Amino acid sequence: MGGLICILFGQTASLYKKGWDSSDRRLHPNELLTYEMLEWANAKRYRIADFTALDTGIAIRNVQG
């Protein structure tokens, strides 16, 4: 079981909190929640996805490949 709280303001969808009950790690529930939220926000025409507390180092590594 998992859940995600998303704050919507203007054209921004912010992924505020997400979590799961640790019942089945191989299913990667946090990744699924993020993917589904991005798909939903895109369908609703939100222009910005804000990951709120994403560590800067993680962002830099992802951009660099």
Tokens found for residue 43: 């369908």
> How many domains would you assign to the chain?
1
SS3 content of the chain, % helix, strand, coil (to 5): 40, 30, 30
Whole-model pTM?
Answer: 0.68
The model's confidence at residue 47, banded by pLDDT at 50, 70 and 90, is very high
Q: What is each CA distance from 22 to 4, 8, 28, 31, 50, in whole angstroms?
A: 15, 27, 10, 13, 25
Domain coverage including residue 29: 2-64
Give the model's pLDDT for residue 42.
Answer: 95
Per-residue model confidence (pLDDT) at position 19: 83
